Chains A and B, each alone.
Chain A
């Protein structure tokens, strides 16, 4: 008997078989998935969370903050609130945590760091009964900035655990005491983002100008010559980033190879300042990222039939005209893959600007590192980092959309 229809039993079996296979495939991925979720995804999520979450002040002076909720925001708070704060200060002075409060308040109101630290020191040995009786006077005597409304506003505004203020700072905005949002006096970050994008663009254009002719030449060369030349592209690609940065420092410094050659040639008497500026950053990064341009370009160009160009030239086109009308459109996937790759990598670059950038070659990554390591403003670092991450993801999405990640090869 021939029966081509599936009875319910067969369908169930087939479905079970599919589930089994899917599960089998999935099980192989589970260990890595768990590992990456812990080692990579959770840290990135923590950073994103950190950019809006800062419980430091809320943990240090919880009762003061509760008391401040009833304050009108004019003059100074009532005596009970101030006394509560003085008691908190004494406790922090003895726990040695007043420095944390000082750092937090100082970010909103410069100069408060020393005020808080000295006040805390003066309150360390005062007994509790004295604080309950004369707390307000003690505080005002310790420093007259405690009589300012702005000081108490800063304390109150630092209270919320969740805050968008780090993002506002990251785009050079601030919230005025009345709640309106306006530009900050010091404009740093927007300019730095613009500068980072500008430098990344220059580097991308330079790698295009250098990489295109090289990849074209290699794609026209015989297989053995092309393979030989490939070594000269891949060796720098595989050489440690720090080695290549070291090489540029050795070449460009005052007593380095380039300057001593220029002096020997009589082109200059004094060594030129070639290192520790924007110029050296762009030069070294162009060198470091050039293989990322050449490799995808070469991969695409090798697949282009050169007879199209020959045909166009034989029919009277100029080489440049033939290139523009025929070859360029065909090599465009490689060019755009290389360009976006170089652009994305250079936006997030840290090491080379840190080592050869001096003061005017710093990029956005360097200021993130600065807030992580030097100023300890981790929330601002997280906000700046989150903005950078969004920028990169948008670029990457565009890349995937228009170019396709299949053009990425490792060499």
Chain B
């Protein structure tokens, strides 16, 4: 039994335990929907609920058939490949340009800093449907609709704010005199950037890149408007699966994606700790 201060009344103690119960229930609300779909994806029947066999742990009630379906179905295979191709390409563009820009933005000499920062962060604020409509109008003129190039450019633009935020945060702990020292020793700004700045801010750059990758990997609204049938990604395939015929293959895909997010979260946490050790705010 926990000891409470002497001035606590029964109401304080009720409040203390009440808060625990409420916090526990909210955490359940957050986690349960995601946890529940995992066992359901091993259902031997095409149902979205637990069968009697599953509840009695009958081995026959479980199967890997929906996972087999992902492997067998060419549509899913192409979607998985497309998601990685677009995600990696978009993240590379966003990270390269974003890191360069973050270095410039964190310089005390940067002109129009507030305005330019706001402009570069704006893809994060504008609703996706508006971005999608605008890009559809504009990209059509350059024949970019229905191409990988168009989709990659669009997703790279979405990833930019995340790179700017993470890299600028890491740079806030970066000693600028190192940059000046490099310049004074005769190196070009680009060389100092590559040999001095990058190694020091690497954790921030990698987590920014991961954010940009995840942004593209999860994104579906722009895909709906800008991609043709050949550029279908995993979320796009899930979207049509949920609209047309629902079967537990989607749950199997969803389970795999949860595992992937958990791995991503773990990586980011490791990076954050490393960057915190280096003195950045990450």
Contacts and interface: CB of A to CB of B under 8 A. Distances in A.
Interface of A: 18, 21-22, 24-29, 31-33, 35-36, 38-47, 50, 210-211, 213-214, 216-218, 229, 231-236, 238-251, 253, 255-257, 259-260, 287, 290-291, 310, 313-314, 316, 318-320, 344, 347-351, 355, 365, 368-369, 372-373, 378, 381-382, 385, 388-389, 392-393, 396, 410
A247 B35 CA distance: 9
B227 interface: no
A217 B20 contact: yes
Interface residues of B, number: 89
Contacts of B193: 28
A235 B238 CA distance: 20
B44 interface: no
6 contacts: A36-B157, A239-B258, A251-B33, A257-B50, A344-B125, A368-B133
Contacts, number: 272
Interface in B6-25: 7-8, 11-12, 15, 19-20, 22-23
Contact of B137 (A43, A246, A253): A43
Nearest to A241: B218
**Residue of A316, A320, A365, A393 with highest tally of chain B CB at under 10 A:** A365
Given A21-B109, A214-B23, A250-B37, A410 B137 contact: no
Interface of B: 5, 7-8, 11-12, 15, 19-20, 22-23, 26-27, 29-31, 33-34, 36-37, 40, 47-50, 93, 97-98, 100-101, 103-105, 107, 109-111, 116, 119-120, 122-123, 125-139, 153-154, 156-157, 160, 162, 165-166, 189, 193, 211, 214, 217-218, 220-221, 224-225, 235, 238-239, 242-243, 246, 250-251, 254, 257-258, 261-262, 264-265
Contacts of A348: 126-130
A235 B31 CA distance: 8
A250 B36 contact: yes
User: Which 8 residue pairs across A and B have the least CB separation, nearest first?
Assistant: A348-B127, A28-B104, A43-B134, A217-B23, A47-B134, A25-B107, A32-B101, A43-B138
B104 A26 contact: yes
Contacts of B136: 372
Contacts of A236: 30-31, 34
Nearest to B107: A25
Contacts of B105: 25, 28-29
B218 A240 contact: yes
B31 A47 contact: no
**Chain A interface main SS type:** helix
Nearest to A367: B129
Nearest to A347: B127
B72 to A, nearest CB: 20
Given A240-B261, A349-B127, 19 more contacts: A25-B110, A26-B104, A33-B116, A38-B153, A39-B135, A41-B119, A47-B137, A232-B30, A235-B31, A239-B258, A243-B37, A248-B33, A287-B33, A348-B126, A355-B242, A365-B129, A369-B132, A369-B224, A372-B136
